[in-house]
């Protein structure tokens, strides 16, 4: 029976040619997430893209959902997908974009560039004193997936000592000097000069950073979150920064997005905020990688082979 494949990604003609070659024998329909109807979603056997989770309604027709994102938070909730639906994500597509953004934020904080930018807008010529160097630092990378490993390679190349934090025991990759299990995360904080978090959103990672976490960090430490905003409550981060438990922080994600205009976080001099733009399609290569992942999986789906990047519903991570 011919499979109905619904593509919701913003593909161009060359992407369509690649998908159609991969899904030979499938009926492929293209639509935007804003214009797609519930009937179109309900009749699809496979969807490539990010449909409104509420419109899926645990459709029994849906055999496979390929996400554009690495995070699968909205789709692993009970009642969204049928038990028969295989969920795959775009793990590896975002590693360069997010890791380089986090790396840029690291140097921005270490060299206090955010303070000088603020002074420039006020036409103030001032000196903010001592800075730090990655070559003298211990960097904790919390979440050692593709993004975390890419970031680890960047800071390691600059001479940092790298502690990787992940859920499962394994031999550390060459870019990591020491590997620590997530359950022992608190032991890392007193050592780290930089804590870079790139954890996915899940029940296990929600509010994993607490007041006590920041109490254990050095008062000179830097905290960077490019994973999920749910990893740290906004009031916890505010207390850590306003109380100078740590020196500074950068966040590309917030517990509530967009970050409310009345949030006290906006006023903190020692916090750099970017509006969840480290990923997305801001780096054009990212979307090309996503199309390649989707095309490879579409070929596997059409031929009845095993799919890649399958998400574990219990953890929200790639299996």
Residue 244 is predicted with a pLDDT of 98
Residue 261 is predicted with a pLDDT of 98
Residue-wise pLDDT for 158-200, tens only, equals 999 999 999 988 899 999 999 999 999 999 999 999 999 999 8
Residue 311 belongs to some domain of the structure: no
Mean pLDDT, the chain, rounded, equals: 97
Which structural domain, as residue segments, surrounds residue 49? 4-93+283-302
For residues 106 and 241, state if they share a domain: yes
For residues 32 and 89, state if they share a domain: yes
For residues 61 and 137, state if they share a domain: no
Radius of gyration of the chain (CA): 21
For residue 110, is the peptide bond before it cis, meaning its omega torsion is within 30 degrees of 0? Answer: no
Split into its structural domains, the chain has a count of 2
Residue-wise pLDDT for 215-224, tens only, equals 999 999 999 9
For residues 124 and 259, state if they share a domain: yes
For residues 163 and 194, state if they share a domain: yes
For residues 174 and 200, state if they share a domain: yes
Measured distance CA(224)–CA(186) in Å, rounded: 16
DSSP codes, the chain = ---EEEE-S---HHHHHHHHHHTTTSEEEE--TTT--HHHHHH-SEEES---HHHHTT-SS--EEE-SSS--GGGSSTTTS-TT-EEE--TTSSHHHHHHHHHHHHHHHHTTHHHHHHHHHTT----------GGG-EEEEES-SHHHHHHHHHHHHTT-EEEEEESS--PPPTT-SEEEEGGGGGGTTTT-SEEEE-PPPSTTTTT-B-HHHHHHS-TT-EEEE-S-GGGB-HHHHHHHHHTTSSSEEEES--SSSSPPTT-GGGG-TTEEE--S-SSTTSSHHHHHHHHHHHHHHHHHHHTTPPPSSBBPTTTSSB-
For residues 295 and 261, state if they share a domain: no
Q: How large is the average pLDDT for residues 291-296? A: 98
Residue-wise pLDDT for 110-131, tens only, equals 999 999 999 999 999 999 999 9
For residues 77 and 208, state if they share a domain: no
Judge contact between 299 and 3, C-beta under 8 A. Answer: no
- Residues of the chain above pLDDT 70, percent: 100
Q: How large is the average pLDDT for residues 74-81? A: 95
Could you tell me the pLDDT band of residue 155, with boundaries at 50, 70 and 90?
very high
Is the pLDDT at 314 greater than 90? The verdict is no
For residues 234 and 161, state if they share a domain: yes
Closest CA to 186 of 161, 207, 162, 215: 215
Residue 34 is predicted with a pLDDT of 94
Could you tell me the pLDDT band of residue 90, with boundaries at 50, 70 and 90?
very high
Judge contact between 169 and 181, C-beta under 8 A. Answer: yes
pTM, 2 dp: 0.94
Q: Exposure pattern of 264-276 as b/e (b: 16+ CB <10 Å)? A: ebeebebbbbeeb
For residues 162 and 223, state if they share a domain: yes
Determine whether 140 is exposed, middle or buried from the number of CB atoms within 10 Å of its CB (0-12, 13-18, 19+).
buried
């Amino acid at each position: 029976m011919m499979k109905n494949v619904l593509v919701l990604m913003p593909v161009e003609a060359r992407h369509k040619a690649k998908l159609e070659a991969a899904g030979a024998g499938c009926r492929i329909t293209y639509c935007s997430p804003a214009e797609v109807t519930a009937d179109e979603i309900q009749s699809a056997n496979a969807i490539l893209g990010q449909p409104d989770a509420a419109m899926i309604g645990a459709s029994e027709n849906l055999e496979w959902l390929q996400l554009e994102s690495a995070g699968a938070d909205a789709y692993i909730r009970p009642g969204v997908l049928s038990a028969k639906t295989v969920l795959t994500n775009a793990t590896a597509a975002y590693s360069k974009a997010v890791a380089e953004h986090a790396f840029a934020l690291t140097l921005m904080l270490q060299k206090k560039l955010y303070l000088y930018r603020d002074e420039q807008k006020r036409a103030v010529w001032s000196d903010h004193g001592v800075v730090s160097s990655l070559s003298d630092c211990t960097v904790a990378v919390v979440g050692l997936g593709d993004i975390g490993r890419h970031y680890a390679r960047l800071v390691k190349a600059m001479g940092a000592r790298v502690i990787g934090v992940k859920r499962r025991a394994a031999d550390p990759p060459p870019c990591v000097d020491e590997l620590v299990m997530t359950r022992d995360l608190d032991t890392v904080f007193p050592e780290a000069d930089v804590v870079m978090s790139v954890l996915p959103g899940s029940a296990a990672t929600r509010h994993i950073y607490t007041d006590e976490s920041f109490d254990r960090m050095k008062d000179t430490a830097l905290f960077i979150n490019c994973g999920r905003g749910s990893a740290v409550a906004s009031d916890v981060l505010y207390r850590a920064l306003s109380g100078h438990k740590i020196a500074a922080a950068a966040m590309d994600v917030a517990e509530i997005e967009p970050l409310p205009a009345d949030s006290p976080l906006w006023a903190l001099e020692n916090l750099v905020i970017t509006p969840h733009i480290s990923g997305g399609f801001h780096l054009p290569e990212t979307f090309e990688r996503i199309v390649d992942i989707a095309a490879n999986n579409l070929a596997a789906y059409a031929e009845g082979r095993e799919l890649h990047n399958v998400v574990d519903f219990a953890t929200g991570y790639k299996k």
